[in-house]
Each structure stands twice: as C-alpha cells, then as structure tokens.
Structure 1
Amino acid sequence: MEEKVVEMFNRVKGQKPPTNMIVGGLALLVALWAASTCFYKVGTEETGVVLRLGKFSKMTEPGLQFKLPFGIDQVYLVKTGRVLREEFGFRTQEPGVRTTYSPRRMEEESLTLTGDLNVTDVEWMVQYQINDPYRYLFKVNNPETTIRDISEAVVRRVVGNSNVSDVLTVQRAALALQIQSEVQEILNSYEMGVRIVTVRFQDVNPPGPVRDAFNEVNEAEQQRESMILQARAQYNQEVPKARGVARSRILEAEGYAVERVNRAQGEATRFTALLNEYRTAPEVTRQRLYLETMESILPKLEEIYVIDGNGATSPLPLLPLSQARQGGAR
C-alpha cells in the first residue's frame, strides 16, 4: 500500500500544473490582499484623514470605513477626541487616583529667571486638543515638538516679566491664563489646528538652597492677606453700624430742633396774643394772669400762710383741708 502511494506521488510530482491555474491562484491572492487593504477602522476618539494619490480627499468618522487599495488611498488616524498634554519639569509615570511621578529632576526645563533676577523652579503642563486633523498633520513638521518649544518660550517670557513674589503666591492663575492666551495666539498664526484647553502650574518653588527663606516670605504674605481680610471684615461691620448711629443721632437732633422751634413759635404766638389783650384791658389782663399763676403754684405747696399786708397780725396758717380729706378717706 505504501508503495502505491509513493508511486502516485512521484507521478503527480513529475507533471507540470497548467498555466491558467497559476494565473488564477495569483489573481486570487491579489484579490484577497486588495480586499484586506480596502477596509480600515477608526477608533471612537479618532478621526481619519484620507489622502488620495498624495492629495487630501476627506475625513472619516469613527467606525469601519472603505478606501481604495494598492496604496491609492492613504489613511492617517488622529486622536481628536482626547485631551493631550505636554509636561515640563516633571513626568507622569502612572496616572490614576494616586498618580506617581518620575523622581528624576528636570531642571533644564523647570528653572526659570524672574523679572527681579530671582530663580524659580516652575513645573507646568499644557493640555490641548486637535480640532483640525489635516492642519495638525501637514501644516507644521513635528507638531508636538513645536507645541513644547512655543509653550516653554512663552512661559519663560511671562515669568521673566513678573516678580518672584507674584509667581510664587497670588498671581499664578492670572499668569497661567496669560500664557494660555499667548500660546493659542501663536499656534493660530501657525495654522496648527490645535486648541489649548488649559495651562496649569503643577508646582512652583524657589531653588533648593533658598527654599526655606522663600517659604517664610510666602507665609508672611499669606498672613498679611489674612489680616487684611480680617480688617476689611471688621470695617464692613463697624462702619455701617457707626453710620447708622450717626444717622439716628442726626434724626433725633432734627426732631428736637423742630420741636423747640415749634414750641418757641407757639410761645411767641401766645405772648403776642396776650400782649394784644393787655393793651386792650390792662387791669383785667393783669388780674387774670395773677390768678392763673396762683392757681398753678398753690397746689404744689405743702403749707400756706396768709399774712396781713399791714403786719398787724401774726402769720396765719391755712388749714390744708384737701390733705385732711385724703387722710380721712384712708
């Protein structure tokens, strides 16, 4: 049996296959290869840029897409849905809830000279997003390096125009916004198709040899700001209160002035009327004034003595009948 199999194999081996079978096999292989290169996949965070014979053709959305085979269409995948970032002065090893950073110091990136000739150790990051994949790929050679160079140049210029106290303390946010605006303006002039999401200072410290002294200055600045805020709070509490008291006193004084003026005017009117009556009937008016005066004075006296005008008799006390009636009533 084995001899028959070997004989049959040698017989087939000695025969030449027909030409049409070779051509058909090759055509099948070419067709399979072309079919395998006609489709490509675009990820959820990607945009496909298609070049046809070296010229821009179209952009494709995420999903399975078709292209012409044999290198007629070339596809470049760009991560447009992801926020990318460049780090300066530090490197992230493992991002996550507890991000770990590389222990290696990168002082060639972080050491920066301020406007008052002080050296600061500035660590920062630039986060950006690609909003025009075609420009990002073909307008500038090596866009990532370009973004790093522009960011580093702008940071050094902005920090170099600021005082060290501003960089270390209260002006970090304002400086970051200024850097973001200037970097975006330069990238727009280059037509890079990149949008700066944010520029954030990771850490800003003085150099190691003078760090303790700068930390003391920073604490003093913070204490000063705290005392200023406390003084403003006390000012906002005391000044309105004092203004309210002053306004109350002014209103009381104005009311008292109106009362005195009205009383004086009433007294003056009463005196004028009385003077007119006196001029008309002097004796009657004089007698009436005397009686009215005695009527108001006598009830206030505890003891009353009646004295003869000639001095012939001794003083005669007037019996206080009203008091005796009150005592009897008890």
Structure 2
Amino acid sequence: MSILSGLGALGRGLFSDNKGPWGQAPGGSGDEPPEPPADGQGPWGEPPKRRGRGGKLPGGNVSSLDDWIARSKQRFGGGGTGFPAQPSGNFIKYGLLAVVALWLVFTTMHRIAPEERGVVTRFGRYSSTLGPGISFTLPAPIDRVQKIDVENIREINLGSASEETLMLTGDQNIIDIAYQVRWKISDPELFLFELAQPEETIRQVAESAMRQVVANVSLQGAMGNQRGIIEARVEEEMQQTLNAYRAGVILQGVAIRQADPPAAVNDAFKEVTAAQQEAESYVNQANAYALQLKQKAQGEAGAFDRIYEQYKLAPGVTKRRMYYETMERVLQKVDKTILEAPGVNSYLPLNDLKRTPAPVREPAQ
C-alpha cells in the first residue's frame, strides 16, 4: 500500500496545478492555456483533447485517483503499512473470553476411568485422590491431576538368554535363573511420592530376595521340584520389603522361567545329570524288587499263621489235609500208576508203561 500512496502523492504533485513536468503549463509559462496549433493537431500529431471545467484534462482528475487509492487501502487493509487492518475491540474481547473459557473447562473438569485414580497436587504438594467419574478441581497451574492405572498388572523380567543372572546355591553351586515379577499399584499416593524410581526399586528388591532364597536351596532343588517353594518365598520376602519402603505396590506373583547351570559348564552338567538319572533308575528298580519280596514273604507268613490256627483246632485233620495238598503238588508233575484194588499182582512192566505209543496213521485214500 506504500507504493499506492507514493503514486497518489506523485499524481497530486504532477497534476494539481495542470502544469507540465517542469512546473510550466503545457503550452508555455503563463497561466492561460495555450492555443492549439493551426492545423488542429497536438505536438505529437494527435488531435487536441477537450478540456473540462477549470481547464483540467478529463484523464487527470485528482479526486478520481484519490478515490481509487482509498478504495485499494480499504480492500487490502489500512494504514498503508502492507499489513491487514487491526481487528476491532469486540473481536479481541470475545476471543480472550473464549480462550479463558476453554482453559477453565480443560483444567478444572477431569474424567477418571474406572481403572484409574487421579492424584491431585496443589502447587506441587499432594492434595487428594480422585475416584472414578467426573471431578472438578482448581484450574491449572494451581491444581494438577495425574491419572494412575491401578488395575493394570505390570511385569518385570529379570535374566534372559543374552544376560545371565548367576546366583550361588546352598550346596555351593552356581545357577543361572531367569524369572518374572508381576505387580500392580495399590496406593497411587505412595507410589508417586515415596519412591524416586519405583520400578527400579522393585527390580532390585526382587533380585535381592531371589538371591537370599536360592542361597538356602540346593542346585537340584532349584532346578527341579522346589521351584514352587522358591517362588512363594521370594514373593513373601519382596512384599515385606516393599511394605517397609511404603512403595504402594502389591505383588501378583513370581514365576521362574529358567533355572540352568552356567552356559560354560552346561554340557558337562548334562552328562552328570544323565549319570545321576541312570543311578536313580537302578535304585528305583532295586527298591521295587525289595518291595516285591517283602510283600511275598508277608503273604506266606500270613498263610502259615492261618494254617496254624486251624492246626490248633484239629491237628489230625490239618496234618492229613496238608499231606494231601503236598502229594497233589508233587504227583501232578510226574508219570504215575495207581493200583488200588486188593489181590492184584504187583508186577508192573514199567518199561512198557513208560514207552510212548506210536501215533495212529490214517489209511491212504
């Protein structure tokens, strides 16, 4: 717009007194307009132009140029500075009111989800804890609300395939343990303000508790049937320590995912384990055989006791029955010939009796 202003000033300077560019009238130095040439044409061969009232040319109307410049300023902004016109006072006032209203709405009204709690701090100091629902506080920066999820179960993994967690067992062996700790927030106030780094504290407490428990367990127990006992003891030790720290955390469980000897001696340990398993297998077989013999002896002793009770009641009958049973067991396995009728010749052709008769052949067809 400064260019347009300059053009307007130049136009007014050039055409305000109808003089030429050197301060003179188009036809000379006098105040009267010059007479047209005799041939009726201008100095450059064009026909003479008609003058309006006051001796001014129609094309040099100063008021028309000023009007055009004024309209241009109104269209593109005022002031001639090249910037849009300044907004009105009402627009600024309503804009500020809208900003203040939005600030109040977004900093005083808080929606807390069912699984969350809102911790309110006033000038940085703990003020209160908001439950689920819609709550209102003082606007920021007076009150600030930090939402904490108290239902989400968080996990911390200690030890992995790329990072060994070596511990000393009760029988002076080294074991590599990888385990997982599951926990959630029980008290948001304590969780935020009592510990500087809550998750790192939980990690260190878990490692300390695991080392303490593993130090009282043998290597075979840690790798085998005592894992459940170790997990329960570690969880108990951790919860006691975290409660003493006022951490605002409740444990959801400890799970051992891996319990192996160090990688450097893993192959040798597998060989030793295989030999121990083989020895244990032989021991189990021997125990089973001993149990079988014991049960058999107990059965025979019980049978003898029952026979003796019967013998005390009727000795003769019992002797005869035992004799018959014994003869039955002996004679049923041998070839025998029984002669019961009296007066029969006692000569027996034993060789012929023992000879096996030839098989009977069927006649040829």
Give the TM-score band, short-chain normalised. 0.5 to 0.7
Q: Tell me which of 69, 74, 92 is aligned to 1:7.
A: 74
Tell me, in whole angstroms, the C-alpha distance in 2 between the residues paired with 1:83 and 1:233.
49
- Unaligned residue ranges in structure 2 (runs of 5+): 1-67, 319-340, 344-365
CA deviations on 1:225-245 (whole Å, 9 max, x unpaired) are 566666667777775665455
**TM-score using structure 1 length:** 0.62
Q: Tell me which of 215, 221, 245 is aligned to 1:190.
A: 245
| Greater mean deviation of Cα atoms: 171-180 or 226-235 | 226-235
The offset of 1:211, in angstroms, is 0.7
Match runs of 1:106-125 below 5 Å: 106-107=163-164, 110-125=165-180
Match runs of 1:149-298 below 5 Å: 149-223=204-278, 243=298, 246-260=301-315
Q: Would you say the 8 A contact 1:88–1:125 is kept in 2?
A: yes
The offset of 1:31, in angstroms, is 0.9
Tell me, in whole angstroms, the C-alpha distance in 2 between the residues paired with 1:187 and 1:127.
14
Aligned to 1:55: 126
Tell me, in whole angstroms, the C-alpha distance in 2 between the residues paired with 1:230 and 1:37.
77
Q: Would you say the 8 A contact 2:157–2:180 is kept in 1?
A: yes
Percent sequence identity over matched residues? 33
Residues 228 and 129 of structure 1, relative CA distance in 2, 3 Å threshold:
farther
Tell me, in whole angstroms, the C-alpha distance in 1 between the residues paired with 2:179 and 2:236.
15
The alignment of Structure 1 onto Structure 2 pairs a total of residues equal to 249
CA deviations on 1:82-120 (whole Å, 9 max, x unpaired) are 221111112xxxxxxxxxxxx6x223xx12233443322
Q: Would you say the 8 A contact 2:167–2:211 is kept in 1?
A: yes
1:88 maps to amino acid: L
**TM-score using structure 2 length:** 0.57
Tell me, in whole angstroms, the C-alpha distance in 1 between the residues paired with 2:281 and 2:122.
65
Tell me, in whole angstroms, the C-alpha distance in 2 between the residues paired with 1:153 and 1:190.
14
Tell me, in whole angstroms, the C-alpha distance in 1 between the residues paired with 2:155 and 2:110.
27
Aligned to 2:158: 88
2:238 maps to amino acid: V
Aligned to 2:24: none
The offset of 1:65, in angstroms, is 4.7
Aligned to 1:78: 148
Residues 78 and 10 of structure 1, relative CA distance in 2, 3 Å threshold:
closer
The offset of 1:139, in angstroms, is 1.9
Tell me, in whole angstroms, the C-alpha distance in 2 between the residues paired with 1:37 and 1:43.
17
CA deviations on 1:134-168 (whole Å, 9 max, x unpaired) are 22222222111111111111222222333333323
Matched, 1:127 2:182: yes
Question: What do you get for the CA RMSD once the two structures are aligned?
Answer: 3.5
Tell me, in whole angstroms, the C-alpha distance in 1 between the residues paired with 2:122 and 2:273.
60
